Amino acid sequence: MADEEEFVQDTRGTVTRRDFLKLLAAGGIALAFTPFVPWGKFMPDPTNTVANKVKITLPGGGIANIKTFPVDSSEVVTYPVTGDPVLDSEPFRKWQLVRLPASMGGTADDVSAFRCYSMVCLHLWCLWKYWPQPGRMRGECPCHGSMYRMQDGLAFAGPASLQAPPSNVLPILYLEADGNGDLWILPAIWNVNDNGIVGYGRFLQKS
């Protein structure tokens, strides 16, 4: 009887360990395919807010202007703005407004000197940051090292660069400048062929 009880305990222990290993294997497979799942289709939908042409308001409350925005610098801006502090704090509404370095045309006295990309990294949704230092001048995700070109938002290094289009190019906001130099965001079209889908990406348009 003792031998039988010991056998049952051993069998139960073996099954438990086997189940645990199965769970680990399943988890590993899920993580391996995570970057290639179209997560953007399941995120909060910014189209709930009516897309209008709006001036770009900086964190300090001022308006972004070509004449005063420094070359090779960036600011975090919110779009679309709802007026609700909780909703407006969502990462999916955060964008990096970048004035390009001089070597990339940032000294131009028009809207071509600027880019505005979603801050949500296309790999696993961390928020990337713009680094203006000479020799760097790119967007970098602190979580897994994905790097983005500021000219067009294309991932050129790290896990995001290994993802298939459109999940390797950051969504973008298209801009316009008025006669005073104030910058405006044009109404966004949330699909992969236009502004893109936040957290999912967009197709890079060939010039």
What is the tens place of the pLDDT at every residue in 4-58? Answer: 444 333 334 444 555 544 444 544 444 444 444 444 443 444 444 556 899 999 9
**pLDDT, position 94:** 98
Strand order across the 114-118 sheet:
73-78, 94-99, 114-118
- Tens of pLDDT, residue by residue over 99-145, are 999 999 999 999 999 999 999 999 999 999 999 988 788 999 999 99
Domain 39-185, CATH class in plain words: mainly beta
**pLDDT, position 68:** 98
Within 10 angstroms of residue 91's Cβ, the number of other Cβ atoms is 15
Provide the Cα torsion 73, 75, 80, 83; round to 10°.
-160
Given a cut of 50, whether residue 95 has pLDDT beyond it is yes
Say if residues 92 and 45 touch (Cβ distance below 8 Å).
no
**pLDDT, position 50:** 53
Lowest-pLDDT choice from 48-52, 107-111, 179-183, 188-192? 48-52
Given a cut of 60, whether residue 197 has pLDDT beyond it is yes
Say if residues 116 and 108 touch (Cβ distance below 8 Å).
no
**pLDDT, position 44:** 44
Which two tokens mark 114?
A: 């600027």
